[in-house]
Amino acid sequence: MITCIAILPGMIHFSAANAQQTIEGIHYATGKPVRVAIENGIIVSVKPVKKLAEAYGKTYIAPGFFDNQVNGFAGVSFAFGESDLTSEGIAKATRELWKCGVTTYLPTLTTNSREVLLRNFRLLAGALKDEKLLGAIPGFHLEGPFINPEDGFRGAHPKQFVRLPDWNEFQELNRAAGGKILQVTLAPEMQGAQEFIKKCTESGVVVAVGHHNANKGQLDLAVTNGAKISTHLGNGCANMISRHYNPFWPQLANDQLWISIICDGFHLLPEEVLVFYKIKGAGKTIITSDVTSYAALPPGTYTTQTGETIELTPEGKLHLPAQQVLYGSASPVTKGVGNIMKFTGCSLSDAIQMVSANPARLYHLDDRGTLEPGKRADLVMFTIDDYKLKIVRTFVKGDLVYEMGNNEK
């Protein structure tokens, strides 16, 4: 059997004698050169080498990035009602995310009608069986529709589709999704939410609190009932809130609650990211993107499929001018890796933990998330300059799916 052996960036070698694929780079955690051996899509060894070949330069190697909140990408929307969501579109979005080093992601459906959610989940469920996607989509994230309907707290979610938690509806949606809704984000203060949280937890679905205005008692009860994480903490909140009685303090004060944060430079100020990180640490923080289909479009004003006017600024800020709230992100999670290092002073190792190992651990996806033998060979190679990551190569299940300068495999 002839096996493709990746030796140097820009160079592919073939060997009939060696059945293993090997990759070299600087280990993201130790800073030392290593050689990673892959067989049948699995990492079989990670061994130190004395020196990398000169062509490698300062190319790091790390587990691929895991984004748990992707509303769409590269012109493809997962969320809306009249979108032309197709298997080809899902594959396109996946390939474009691979270029950003994202090897695992959760397509995210936001607040919409029951009919739209059912239809889109059925379409997305087909991607679970698409061998060309190499298992990059392990499941889905349902953000809403069981959120707080008040302006500000509901963010960009259309008010006409916000509704109370309904376990029967959720079961129907999950069946449409092939039983693979891995996370649901809701407001714990809404009627019926606490019982809903219990049922989700019992069925193995991760419950997140988000787009809510829960007080301490409601938040702590939600965690007791099984809620695990705050969705994009610091966002999905009204601009005017009480300085003492607001949803931020209870979430930060509860030591059992993880957080996800958007580190694109627009959703949170650097000092907010720093405070959140100081409280939760690398062990209970996940870097997410909340990225939308508009990420691939040029700056300008757009009309959404629900008739709202949004603006994408030249700096990359995507927002609803009428409500003065953000409309998701236009930056992949890759940008957040560099930004959290810049904002907090954390190490590259900690940043990678927050974008790879932590989400894999949260969703009990034990086959990925770390650079060690026995894991899926989901790997990203990159350089860093001034806290900006440049993706050199991406491997998914051992397949080279992206190489800088050669966009298509």
- Separation CA 201–CA 221 (nearest Å): 13
My answer on whether 52 and 82 are in the same domain is no
Q: Is 297 exposed, middle or buried (0-12, 13-18, 19+ CB in 10 A)?
A: middle
Q: What is the 3-state secondary structure (H, E, C) of 133-162?
A: HCCCCCCEEEECCCCCCCCCCCCCCCHHHC
Instruction: Please report which confidence band the pLDDT of residue 14 belongs to, taking 50, 70 and 90 as the band edges.
Output: very low
Query: Nearest CA to 79 among 254, 324, 364, 327?
Result: 327
At 313-365, the pLDDT tens digits run: 988 888 888 877 778 789 999 999 999 999 999 999 999 999 999 999 999 99
The CATH number covering residue 199 comes to 3.20.20.140
Q: What is the pLDDT of residue 323?
A: 74
My answer on whether 156 and 244 are in the same domain is yes
My answer on whether 221 and 347 are in the same domain is yes
Tell whether 56 is covered by a domain. yes
Mean pLDDT, rounded, for 174-183: 98
Tell whether 270 is covered by a domain. yes
Which two three-digit tokens encode residue 260? 């996800």
Tell whether 149 is covered by a domain. yes
My answer on whether 261 and 398 are in the same domain is no
pLDDT value at 298 more than 90:
no
Tell whether 217 is covered by a domain. yes
The CATH number covering residue 35 comes to 2.30.40.10
8 Å CB contact between 16 and 1: yes
Tell whether 376 is covered by a domain. yes
Measured on CA atoms in the order 312, 315, 319, 323, is the torsion positive or negative?
Answer: negative
My answer on whether 73 and 36 are in the same domain is no
Q: Which amino acid is at 152?
A: G
- Separation CA 395–CA 41 (nearest Å): 9
My answer on whether 293 and 312 are in the same domain is yes
Tell whether 409 is covered by a domain. no
My answer on whether 310 and 342 are in the same domain is yes
Structural domain range at position 181: 65-362
Q: Which amino acid is at 334?
A: T
Q: What is the pLDDT of residue 354?
A: 98
At 27-80, the pLDDT tens digits run: 999 999 999 999 999 999 999 999 997 777 789 999 999 999 999 998 899 987
Q: What is the pLDDT of residue 69?
A: 98
Q: What is the pLDDT of residue 119?
A: 95
pLDDT value at 83 more than 70:
no
pLDDT value at 231 more than 90:
yes
Q: What is the pLDDT of residue 314?
A: 87
Mean pLDDT, rounded, for 237-256: 95
pLDDT value at 149 more than 70:
yes
Tell whether 389 is covered by a domain. yes
Three-state SS for 346? coil
My answer on whether 114 and 173 are in the same domain is yes
My answer on whether 108 and 48 are in the same domain is no
Tell whether 408 is covered by a domain. no
- Separation CA 321–CA 343 (nearest Å): 27
Averaged confidence pLDDT in the chain: 92
Instruction: Provide the number of structural domains found in the chain.
Output: 2
My answer on whether 208 and 265 are in the same domain is yes
Question: How many CB atoms neighbour CB 188 within 10 A?
Answer: 28
8 Å CB contact between 262 and 317: no
Percentage of residues of the chain with pLDDT beyond 70: 93
My answer on whether 126 and 222 are in the same domain is yes
Picking from 69-83, 137-151, 203-217, which range would have the lowest pLDDT averaged per residue?
Answer: 69-83
First to last CA, the chain: 20
Q: What is the pLDDT of residue 82?
A: 59
My answer on whether 163 and 256 are in the same domain is yes
Our CA dihedral for 85, 266, 99, 174, rounded to 10 degrees, sits at: -40
Q: What is the pLDDT of residue 239?
A: 85
